[in-house]
Amino acid sequence: MTVSPQSGISFPNGMETRLYINNEFVPSRSGQKFDVINPATEEVTASVFEADGADVDAAVQAAKAAFPSWSALGGFQRASYFYKLANLVESCNFDLAKLEAVSMGKPVGKYTEGTNMARFIRYVAGKAADVKGESSLQTAGFVNLTFRQPYGVCAAIIPWNAPVTEFFFKVTPAVLAGNTIVLKSSEKAPLTSLLLARLCQEAQIPAGVINVLSGMGPTCGAAMASHMDIRKISFTGSARTGRAIKQAALESNLKHVALELGGKNPLIIFDDADLSKAANAAASSILYNSGQVCIASTRVYVHASILERFCDLFTSSLVKQAANPIKGNDPLSPFTVRGPQADKAQFTSIMKYITDSRKAGYKILTGGDREGERGFYIQPTIILNPEESSAVMREEIFGPVVCVRSFQTEEEVISLANETEYGLYASTFTRDLSRAMRMARSLEAGIVGLNCTSPMMTLDMPFGGVKQSGDGRENGQHALDDWTELKTVYIGL
């Protein structure tokens, strides 16, 4: 079966499994491989070459060699490669969908990452010539300037939950700003990054500008985080790994570290809200990507006077939205609306939160079990009134599990919502405009939804968290600036 005329890659036999270094596909130096497991069938999808420190070093050297000529190009020239790349990515949306379906279980029928990212690439490419400094005439006898210049060799480490999106959120602004890059994909979903590498090759992006490695975190990822020639690293994933990367940066060359970490996001529903809209939004939020997104609304606080009515609406909306229109739940079927959890480790960890909640005697409004005997499927689950201090209320579960609690006053719910080390996405439903604005100001989060919640996000607005949800912003006006350093230039007249 041919994947696409553009990529010329056949699927599944012709899947690329090698590393992409200096515009060539090469096996890892050790020859070592690891298996990617299909979470719907628990069978091996592919055996992929595993990079270690020596491969990281080779990729960094290629990126270093490419940097002088790539950074010397103008923004318009760099952008021209990316317009070509955007067209290729757009035409390969379905190929990307299929690879993701058999790696981390995202259903093909709902897959739009390729088309969305084509839009994003064009948007950022349109800004590539707008990376500018400032000028000052405020000192007598001087004209003073700032330049915005690229860091040099940069790195990106991405997770498995939205691999194509994460690839481009990092690579596009980094490389358009004039940096060269080494990217490591997640060991759970490395295949789309390799197809994207093939598309970069087809777009004739010069050798060494973009290098793509597959490998494990503690070896390949750690070697990147501590590499002395990498000047900036951007990471999306767990808080635990974010901490390890910051530590490695600290102990090596103090490289700049941008972090996009987890969330335990509050969704607050007041008694004047449009309840059915709020219930539908809460259900969509926790079902999105089978609950495997850092922005999922996992703590729902409902005003005590409407708790029962909301719970009824929420439960029925969740069940309805989660149902597949025809029998079967194969992610490769265009009819499947909900995929499995990405792998066995995720499945086991999520199931433990559910069984512990049962043991604690918490009421489960719907779900509460695995689904079927084969594949890592879990029923979407609503837990009512778990203790504020319980693990399900405090920790990021990264699965289709949501907690509902009630509150009495605005002041109380703000305090409850903010009582977490996370601060990514907070949202509220109310028809009272003043209250909505008070909430937007008081909620400790990088993103606030008013009468909407996640997955609402747009490519032209900044994305990122406060507190331990991260450091730095992606997307929006400033995406390119974040991949540059400021230089001050004094000119004596």
Active site residues: 260
Nearer to ligand ADP, 23 or 346 (CB): 346
Query: CB neighbours of 228 closer than 8 A, spacing ≥ 6?
Result: 252, 253
Each residue 122-161 as x (binds ligand ADP by CB under 6 A) or -, in order, gives -----------------------------------xxxx-
Nearer to ligand ADP, 148 or 227 (CB): 227
Whether residue 12 is preceded by a cis peptide bond, meaning omega within 30 degrees of 0, is yes
> Does residue 221 interact with ligand ADP by CB under 6 A?
yes
CA distance 466 to 361: 33
Cα Rg for the chain, rounded, in angstroms?
Answer: 23
> Does residue 59 interact with ligand ADP by CB under 6 A?
no
Residues in the chain: 493
> Does residue 340 interact with ligand ADP by CB under 6 A?
no
CA distance 64 to 152: 7
> Does residue 399 interact with ligand ADP by CB under 6 A?
no
Count residues near ligand ADP (CB under 6 A): 18
Piece of the chain touching ligand ADP by CB under 6 A; list 74-82, 240-248, 296-304, 464-472: 240-248
> Does residue 372 interact with ligand ADP by CB under 6 A?
no
444 dihedral zone (left: phi>0; alpha: psi -120 to 50; beta): beta
> Does residue 380 interact with ligand ADP by CB under 6 A?
no
Cβ of residue 132: shortest distance to ligand ADP, in angstroms?
33
Query: CB neighbours of 91 closer than 8 A, spacing ≥ 6?
Result: 4, 6
> Does residue 182 interact with ligand ADP by CB under 6 A?
no
CA distance 265 to 487: 38
Nearer to ligand ADP, 66 or 245 (CB): 245
Nearer to ligand ADP, 241 or 280 (CB): 241
> Does residue 190 interact with ligand ADP by CB under 6 A?
no
Cβ of residue 248: shortest distance to ligand ADP, in angstroms?
7
> Does residue 237 interact with ligand ADP by CB under 6 A?
yes
Look at strands 153-157 and 180-184 and give their pairing: parallel
CA distance 208 to 196: 15
Which residues inside 158-177 make contact with ligand ADP, applying CB under 6 A?
Answer: 158-160
Cβ of residue 299: shortest distance to ligand ADP, in angstroms?
20
Cβ of residue 191: shortest distance to ligand ADP, in angstroms?
14
Nearer to ligand ADP, 216 or 456 (CB): 216
368 dihedral zone (left: phi>0; alpha: psi -120 to 50; beta): left
Backbone angles phi, psi at 265, to 5 degrees: -85, 125
Structure tokens at 205: 């992006």
Piece of the chain touching ligand ADP by CB under 6 A; list 3-11, 181-189, 276-284, 354-362: 181-189
Helices 75-91 and 113-125, packing angle to 10 deg? 170
Collapsing DSSP to helix, strand or coil, 241 comes out as helix
Nearer to ligand ADP, 70 or 160 (CB): 160
- The beta strands (E) that lie in 274-342 are given as 297-303
Piece of the chain touching ligand ADP by CB under 6 A; list 10-18, 211-219, 363-371, 448-456: 211-219
CA distance 246 to 322: 38
Residues that bind ligand ADP (CB under 6 A): 157-160, 184, 186-187, 216-218, 221-222, 225, 237-238, 241, 244-245
